[in-house]
């Protein structure tokens, strides 16, 4: 009997999905970087995507809010279901969709504007003019991102003068000020020192009450600490998807076992 190539745990029927993919494939030119991934993402949970470099996890994540559209020669096939809608279909308003599915990148990328403007910029673009509303959005989102106390006295100073860890939390605040449903995070702590990393992780655990988070990480302790579900990617395939505690204690697939034990990657 041939060994199965992958194990994807079915979520219980009661689980509410925030997002799911069906046979999602990503191509760069003629090269297929992600091979037909089908995954569910439960609402108000953190799902971690782990795997060695080049396994396709970041590419997969970036296709969820169609950021791969911006890369010349890339194409994505398959379905991305969000509220009963295939957002990978033609005719979807990508810009509108991205307001619901926010993203935080590997390297902090605050705008070359003040801290205040970084957060209010997009809100104002989408028509919010009331200053009290904007002020409140700044305070709430900075508090949620655990940055408020550090920056409340210099809101009108340049965001790029902040430390790397503070910049990354500002980027998180900027993303959640839009009140997205889903927050995609692409190795958000990989460029940060341990203290900033801990702060960002705390932030994520607090955000879980209101947001569905999908995070790519190279750091397996991080995945184990913060996530509810984990998907292990290898060579463009999702090899295993399960509850995090099972992935790290009793993985079903040999490759997963080798990876979480630190044998490769």
Number of residues that bind other proteins (CB under 8 A): 34
The closest of 8, 19, 11, 4 to 212, measured between CA atoms, is 19
Work out whether 70 is an interface residue with other proteins (CB under 8 A).
yes
Output the DSSP codes for 213-235. EEEE-S-HHHHHHH-SEEEEEET
End-to-end distance of the chain based on CA atoms, in angstroms? 29
Q: Nearer to other proteins by C-beta: 108 or 251?
A: 108
Shortest CB 95 distance to other proteins, Å = 5
Considering only 30-38, 64-72, 130-138, 210-218, which stretch makes contact with other proteins by CB under 8 A? 64-72
Shortest CB 135 distance to other proteins, Å = 17
Site track for other proteins across 178-207, x = CB under 8 A: x-----------------------------
d(CA 89, CA 77) in angstroms, rounded, equals 9
Site track for other proteins across 79-118, x = CB under 8 A: ----------------xxxxx--xx-x-x-xxxxxx--x-
DSSP letter for 114, please: B
Residue 189 near residue 200, CB atoms below 8 Å: yes
Work out whether 225 is an interface residue with other proteins (CB under 8 A).
no
d(CA 154, CA 20) in angstroms, rounded, equals 40
Shortest CB 112 distance to other proteins, Å = 4
DSSP letter for 211, please: -
Work out whether 28 is an interface residue with other proteins (CB under 8 A).
no
Q: Which 120-149 residues touch other proteins, going by CB under 8 A?
A: 121-122, 125-126
The closest of 8, 12, 94 to 45, measured between CA atoms, is 12
Residue 231 near residue 7, CB atoms below 8 Å: no
Shortest CB 226 distance to other proteins, Å = 21
d(CA 135, CA 68) in angstroms, rounded, equals 33
Binding residues for other proteins, rule: CB under 8 A, are 65, 67, 70, 72, 95-99, 102-103, 105, 107, 109-114, 117, 121-122, 125-126, 156-161, 171, 174-175, 178
């Amino acid at each position: 009997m041939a060994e199965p190539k992958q194990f994807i745990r079915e979520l219980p029927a009661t689980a509410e999905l925030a997002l799911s993919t069906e046979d999602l494939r990503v191509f760069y030119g003629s090269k297929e970087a992600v091979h037909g991934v089908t995954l569910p993402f439960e609402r108000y949970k953190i799902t971690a995507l782990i795997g060695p470099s080049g396994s396709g996890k970041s590419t997969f994540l970036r296709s969820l809010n169609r950021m791969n559209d911006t890369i010349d020669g890339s194409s994505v096939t398959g379905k991305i279901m969000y509220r009963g809608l295939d957002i990978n279909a033609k005719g979807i308003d990508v810009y509108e969709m991205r307001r619901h599915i926010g993203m935080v990148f590997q390297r902090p990328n605050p705008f070359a504007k003040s801290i205040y403007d970084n957060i209010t910029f997009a809100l104002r673009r989408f028509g919010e003019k009331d200053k009290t509303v904007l002020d409140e959005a700044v305070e709430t989102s900075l508090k949620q991102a655990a940055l408020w106390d550090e920056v409340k006295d210099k809101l009108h100073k340049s965001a790029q003068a902040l430390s790397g860890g503070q910049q990354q939390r500002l980027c998180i605040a900027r993303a959640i000020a839009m009140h997205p449903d889903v927050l995609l995070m692409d190795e958000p702590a990989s460029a940060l020192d341990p203290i900033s990393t801990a702060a960002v992780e705390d932030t994520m655990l607090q955000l879980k009450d209101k947001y569905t988070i999908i995070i790519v990480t190279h750091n397996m302790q991080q995945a184990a600490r913060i996530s509810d579900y984990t998907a292990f990617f290898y060579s463009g395939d999702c090899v295993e998807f399960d509850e995090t505690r099972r992935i790290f204690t009793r993985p079903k697939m040999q490759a997963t076992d080798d990876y979480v034990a630190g044998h490769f990657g």
